[in-house]
Chains A and B, each alone.
Chain A
Amino acid sequence: MHLIKRTISFRFRLFAIFTLGTALITFALTFSYIERVRNEFREHATGRALLLAKLLAGNARLPLFANDQTSIQKLAEETARQIDVAEVKICNVNGTVVAEAHHGDVGTHLITEHLAITSSPEEDVSNLALTGSSKPIPLGEAFVSLDSTRLDKSIRQVTTSTACYSITFWLIVTLLSYLVLTRMTNSYEKLLAGLSAMRGGNFTVRIPITDRDEPNQAAHSLNELADALQQRDAENMLLQEKLIDALRLEVQNEKQQVMAKLIQTNRMTSLGLLVSSMAHEINNPNGAIRLDGNFLGKMLHNMMPLLEEAAGGDDNLRLSGLRFAEARDEIFRAHENIIRHTNRIEAVIKDLRAYSLGVNSPFTSDIDINQVVTGALTIIQAHGQYTNAVISEKLRSELPAIRGSRNQLEQVVVNLLLNALQSMPSQGGRVSVSTAVNCDTSEVTITVSDSGIGIPPEHIARLFEPFFSTRIDSGGSGLGLYISNFIVSEHGGLLTFESEVGLGTVVTMHLPIPSTLEIEPSG
């Protein structure tokens, strides 16, 4: 069996408490009253019986003393004629019944009182004792029995009437209390209803104010609270909408950024593939050109003695408009350029491939920083996009070798140079790259400075964040400095920035010198 829990209202609880309490008190008082009345009736009956016995004893004293049986019987009969007297008996001192009288049938419900009859009344006994007189003469005993039927009937009547009055009283009080409580708790009911509605989140509900009592005052306060809550709710809704809009925008922006980064990454991946395929397409003809160049070189070295013998010291011999000696120098110079430039193409392609594919090159302990810078400059120059910018270099000679990966370090320098070039206006600027050694800190530094737009202070702290870029729209991935910082950190180094908006930026890469190497100060 499941017990169903029901919510008992405050009004009902109060009403129940008051009703039950009133019922208990009424019942207790009624019971006490009935008991008291019953005891009083019985005491009255007993007292009456005793009084009659006393009267009889007083009146029968002399007749008993004188043995006047006629008078004694007469007394008994007169007493028996009293209301409710059922039986009267007078006995002599020996216990023999001297006179007896009945009134009607002697029932079973009797209240009997008896009194000893002596020659002196009770109140005189003490006087007799004080005066030294002899004790009173015992003459007999008087018995008076009252029929309690009428008494019982009276008690029943009183009980019934009292009970009826009590029940009526209780019903009236209950009804009145119900009406009063209903009126008194009306305010509470409204208050509770209002609270309940507000608890459900409905702050538009207002509790009606009908009086100035405490519940109505509380209701008034609640209404004010509801006003405030409603207003705050509205503000919250507004703020929430704004927040949602802001979040939506941020999410959208982030999404755009992510997409841009993804696109850039994809583009970089594609670019890597393109570079890889391009490298292959370029390497092949470049290789052929270098081979032919080498062949031409050999042929020139073999043919030049012949040509000089053929020219026979004639200074006026011209080849392609140039005097023989000048043409000879030009031919040899052109051969060197072919070899040098094919080698350069090969180096560029190689670096580009390594850079785009991110070839993990192991750390070695013979990394020449100047070579790293040179390699990076080669790549940048091969880019061809920033031809308006002037790139200058100032490399310290005989820098100590450091431990690391040349490719990775080149990648870092390329990123720094690209950032410097991209920070400058389209009509050009100046970028300088320099190397140095700091004996105090035992580190080698590569410094890239530009005369670009500078970095706003609020961006300085975010430079190493992945995917943070001010050029997402122009294809920036936001990973350059993140990866560069990672690489430098892997090398045990540090990247530092000094920038001023409108004047330019100086980026310094600090790389530790292995402790076993001696550092010679520069001249």
Chain B
Amino acid sequence: MRMILYFISILIFAFPGLAAAYDVLVVQDRQSPVYDSLLLGFRSGHHFKERVIVLQDYAENDLVKIIREDHPALVLAVGGKALSESRIINQTPIVSVFTYGIQNSVQPSNLVQIKMQVRAERFAALFHALGAKRVGTVLSAAGLRYAVKAAEVFRKAGITLVILEAKKPGFVAKQLEALSNTADAIWLLPDPAIITSDTVELFATHSMRYRLPLVSFSDAHLKKGAAVAFSIDLVDLGKQAAEVADQIIAGENPEDIEDFPPRKIQLRFNRQVLEHLNLSPGPLLTIGGLASE
């Protein structure tokens, strides 16, 4: 073991130039097949010299050290945690992908986000297809601005958006109870302040108990009890990220590149859940929905 570490140290210090010879530093929260699909798309058709770092294998502040030492041309932050740790770096351009969070904070100039958000109009059409007149959601204070905009869109579609605020994840259950008699459906939004795996389960449980269809922002939640969700083509998302990386490596200023949503979004529904809720998948099929496997 000691010999191996000694050999690696020699390589690092004897050949410093080798350590810095890559363009893209890929930083991902954890190992995940979802990220693998995304990276597959990122790498297809593009030959970046890259280094991959999985944050769960490193200690805090290691990312900053690596970036300062390696000086990559670009950092590809995959996932919310990768984004939050990469935002400390001001000089190196960052392309963020697979981040659901509703951001209200000021975006740094070196950051380009491919936001995992679907336009409110699509959600309104979806709720309309479900026959919901009153849609309830629970958000933190940070997500309220987005919800207010969405409520205007919903109003135009004849749907009332009931918004309840939860300061912390622990308050979500109580607010959901309040929605039981006021909403026909529940909307799960990607609010990083309150969304955890437990709160997602709370939403799904509430949907099951009160027979209210749950519409989520991620098709991963279909298996958790959501009735309908928008599925994003991760490979294509990766390709989108690669295109932005090309632009930035070619010399384009990241500040000039605007954030954009995923290109390919598919509506998916859970047939079994719809059956339990006595809902027909017909209207969803009409708006292009697909049953999830």
Whether the Cβ atoms of B208 and A61 lie closer than 8 Å is: yes
How many Cβ-Cβ contacts under 8 Å join chain A to chain B?
Answer: 52
Query: Of A133-141, A153-161, A178-186, A408-416, which binds chain B?
Result: A133-141
User: Contact check: which of B209, B225, B276 meets A124 at CB < 8 Å?
Assistant: B209
Residue numbers in B under 8 Å from A131 (CB-CB): 180-181
B107 within 8 A of A: no
Residue numbers in A under 8 Å from B209 (CB-CB): 119-120, 124, 128, 133, 136
Whether the Cβ atoms of A66 and B181 lie closer than 8 Å is: no
CA distance A65 to B276 in the complex (A): 7
Whether the Cβ atoms of B225 and A133 lie closer than 8 Å is: no
- Which residues of chain A (403-449) have a CB below 8 Å from chain B? none
Residue of B nearest to A66 (CB): B225
Whether the Cβ atoms of A67 and B211 lie closer than 8 Å is: no
CA distance A65 to B201 in the complex (A): 12
B223 within 8 A of A: yes
Residue numbers in A under 8 Å from B272 (CB-CB): 65-67
With contacts A124-B209, A134-B211 known, is A67 near B273, CB below 8 A? yes
Whether the Cβ atoms of B204 and A66 lie closer than 8 Å is: yes
Residue of A nearest to B222 (CB): A66
CA distance A133 to B205 in the complex (A): 15
With contacts A119-B211, A134-B211, A137-B276 known, is A67 near B270, CB below 8 A? yes
Residue numbers in A under 8 Å from B208 (CB-CB): 61-62, 65, 119-120, 137
Q: Which secondary structure characterizes the binding site on chain B?
A: helix
Write the A138-155 contact mask toward B (1 if CB under 8 angstroms, else 0).
010000000000000000
A71 within 8 A of B: yes
Whether the Cβ atoms of A68 and B224 lie closer than 8 Å is: yes
B22 within 8 A of A: no
The distance from the CB of A142 to the nearest CB of chain B, in whole angstroms, is 16
B210 within 8 A of A: yes
- Which residues of chain A (46-80) have a CB below 8 Å from chain B? 61-63, 65-68, 70-71
Interface residues of A, CB < 8 Å — how many?
19
Residue of B nearest to A139 (CB): B276
Whether the Cβ atoms of B180 and A66 lie closer than 8 Å is: no
Interface residues of B, CB < 8 Å — how many?
20
Residue of B nearest to A93 (CB): B276
CA distance A139 to B205 in the complex (A): 13
Residue of B nearest to A65 (CB): B208
CA distance A120 to B181 in the complex (A): 16
Write the B24-54 contact mask toward A (1 if CB under 8 angstroms, else 0).
0000000000000000000000000000000
Residue numbers in A under 8 Å from B273 (CB-CB): 65-67
CA distance A26 to B178 in the complex (A): 62
The distance from the CB of A508 to the nearest CB of chain B, in whole angstroms, is 147
Residue numbers in B under 8 Å from A63 (CB-CB): 223
- Which residues of chain B (190-223) have a CB below 8 Å from chain A? 201, 204-205, 208-211, 222-223
Residue of A nearest to B224 (CB): A66
With contacts A133-B180, A133-B210 known, is A62 near B201, CB below 8 A? yes
Residue numbers in B under 8 Å from A71 (CB-CB): 223
Residue numbers in B under 8 Å from A62 (CB-CB): 201, 204-205, 208, 224-225
The distance from the CB of A66 to the nearest CB of chain B, in whole angstroms, is 4
The distance from the CB of B215 to the nearest CB of chain A, in whole angstroms, is 14
CA distance A120 to B212 in the complex (A): 13
The distance from the CB of B200 to the nearest CB of chain A, in whole angstroms, is 10
Give 7 closest A-B pairs by Cβ, nearest first: A67-B272, A66-B225, A68-B223, A119-B208, A65-B208, A62-B225, A120-B209
- Contacts from A to B (Cβ < 8 Å): 61-63, 65-68, 70-71, 119-120, 124, 128, 131, 133-134, 136-137, 139
Q: List 9 A-B contacts (CB under 8 A).
A: A65-B204, A65-B225, A65-B276, A66-B273, A67-B271, A131-B180, A133-B209, A137-B211, A137-B277
4 more CB-based (< 8 A) A-B contacts, given A66-B222, A66-B225? A65-B225, A70-B223, A119-B209, A137-B277
